[in-house]
Amino acid sequence: MKHIFIINPNAGKGKAYEFIKPKIDDYCTKNNVDYEVIECSHFREGKATVDRIASSGEELRFYACGGDGTLYEIVNGAFGHKNAQVTVIPLGSGNDFIRLFGSKEDFYNLDNLVNGVPCSFDVIKCGDEIAINQCSMGFDAEVCARQASFKKLPGINGELAYAASAVYSITRKVKNTFTISIDDGEPFTQDCIFCVGANSRWYGGGFMAAPRALPDDGLMDMIIVKKSIGRIKLLTLLNDYKAGNHLDWPMCNFVRGKKLKIHSDKPAAVNVDGECSFVNDATFELIENGITFVVPKGSPFFEIQTRKD
């Protein structure tokens, strides 16, 4: 198997390449690993590169060396190629998807990844995009869209940028009127703050939006938060939401299923693993066994598997 390291040199405030390239060269040379290092710094470049290389049919493992945006690109490029495996060397400020599998240090250890465990994971399809982590529509997607601006401020990392964006966004639009259907059931219309379709647990730099989600259980965790409180009360609940203590809120509807369809008469923000746009309609659909993700050897994820609901 060939190991291909896709590095986003802009990650880690521009220090990603100089941090990880020597480690890759040293480990792979000493251990006779067949490898290649490729820089991809432009939007969609990583996706196109992975898709092109994986089309050869050769058994390949792609390492997303960057943040959640780099992982998004590599996942979208690898999707549909059964010969392609995906894993991560986390060099961004958020790195939410890997939280289920261990610390950053577990992923920095190349031996953990080269000798890691390939796992068949579900993904979520939204239009032509694939999410390995989470999709959402409404207030939290607007927070995500604004997060990039806050990251540019000195001393603001991914987690703090999301929190700052959330506080700012509460002063703006909060309510969305959505018509929703779950698993092609009867549509219902209600005022919502946001809707989440989750394959794993965290987003936004450490907010546990879906505290029970697992990426290999064949189900999508859906969290629909109704607009039944004011802005000040919402602000006081942010920490509870971050900690994953919201599933029992009276305004929170939590279900598991395969498909979440959302319509908004007015364009609303939609987030697909951190990539944001404004649309009237979105469908989040679970694709079982959609990608092979390599979990570091010794990961606590395998202990979680023994305790699945």
Which CATH number characterizes residue 34's domain? 3.40.50.10330
CA distance 69 to 165: 18
Instruction: Let me know whether 141 and 98 are in one domain.
Output: no
What local confidence, expressed as pLDDT, does residue 158 receive?
61
Instruction: Let me know whether 222 and 236 are in one domain.
Output: yes
Q: Which own/partner pairs from 158-165 qualify as long-range (CB within 8 Å, at least 24 positions apart)?
A: 158/67, 158/92, 158/93, 158/94, 158/95, 158/204, 158/205, 159/93, 159/94, 159/204, 159/205, 159/206, 160/205, 161/93, 161/205, 162/94, 162/204, 162/205, 162/206, 162/207, 163/205, 163/238, 163/242
Closest to 2 (Cα-Cα) out of 32, 45, 42, 23: 32
Which helix (H) or strand (E) is 256 found in, with range?
A: strand 252-257
What local confidence, expressed as pLDDT, does residue 160 receive?
75
Full domain range(s) for residue 232: 131-288
Residue 13, φ and ψ in degrees, nearest 5: 55, 40
Residue spans of the chain under pLDDT 70: 148, 151-152, 155-159, 305-309
Instruction: Let me know whether 53 and 76 are in one domain.
Output: yes
Instruction: Let me know whether 278 and 144 are in one domain.
Output: yes
What local confidence, expressed as pLDDT, does residue 151 receive?
66
What local confidence, expressed as pLDDT, does residue 94 receive?
75
Instruction: Let me know whether 155 and 245 are in one domain.
Output: yes
Instruction: Let me know whether 161 and 294 are in one domain.
Output: no
What is the domain count for the chain? 2
What local confidence, expressed as pLDDT, does residue 246 receive?
96
Place of tokens 């219309």: 189
Instruction: Let me know whether 71 and 194 are in one domain.
Output: no
What local confidence, expressed as pLDDT, does residue 221 receive?
98
In this structure, what DSSP letter does residue 307 have?
T
Place of tokens 């005022």: 191
Instruction: Let me know whether 11 and 107 are in one domain.
Output: yes
Beta strands 134-138 and 188-198, pairing class? antiparallel
Instruction: Let me know whether 87 and 192 are in one domain.
Output: no
**C-beta separation of 195 from 137 below 8 A:** yes
**C-beta separation of 245 from 100 below 8 A:** no
What local confidence, expressed as pLDDT, does residue 212 receive?
96
